[in-house]
Amino acid sequence: MNKQKAAVLISGNGSNLQALIDACKQPDFPVEITAVISNKEEAYGLNRASEAGIPCHVIKHGNYATREAFDKAMHEQLLHHCARIVCLAGFMRMLSPWFVAQWQGRMLNIHPSLLPAFKGASAVRDALNAGLRETGCSVHVVTDEMDAGEVLLQAKVPILPGDSEESLHQRIHAQEHRIYPQALKMLALKLVQGA
Ligand code: GRF
């Protein structure tokens, strides 16, 4: 099978990266991960990539004078690894409009809310504080506006009495790990068909 090459950008634990790695191991999954890039050298996700034999790179944003210079360094690595798709998986940096334009329609993000509700970095806490009975997660196409691109897949997650931010996030994670590979597959097949 002719697989689409993808790279994953992370900043931390990388449990979503792991879900993508596991999915890509399936012979009939239309994507292979050719690189993992982290802006943090302590990101546990780097261990997951190494264990899976995937080349990984630490590119520290602090070493670059501007956001765009950092993004250009990442972009070079992505091209070097022939990536055609970029998956953000807990990548905690805003991307420059230049970078977003390079990957238009080819970059996905996973977000822990039912977008358009609760954009931003405290989505799980915000849903909990809102006193709702349900939240969830979304995989969306990345555009210039944060957490605002087309949503490809969502999953609902109940908010249970006594939930802490941690217990709720754990339940959300389980759904993220299910829908992120599905959404990646959808995008890969769409790109192959030239749709
Ligand atoms: C996930 O909850 C994702 O929705 C958010 O950051 C978290 C990353 O978790 N963008 P992990 O590093 O994949 O475990």
User: Residue 18 is inside which H or E element, if any?
Assistant: helix 15-24
Give the per-residue pLDDT at 194.
79
**With a 6 A CB cut-off, is 163 part of the ligand 1 pocket?**
no
Contact criterion met (CB below 8 Å) for 139 and 151: yes
What residue owns the CA closest to ligand 1's atom 2? 112
Contact criterion met (CB below 8 Å) for 114 and 147: no
CATH homologous superfamily, domain 4-194: Formyl transferase, N-terminal domain (3.40.50.170)
The pTM for the full model equals: 0.97
Averages of pLDDT over runs of 10 residues in the chain (195 residues) are 94 98 97 98 98 98 96 98 98 97 98 97 97 97 95 98 97 98 97 80
111 noted as active-site residue: yes
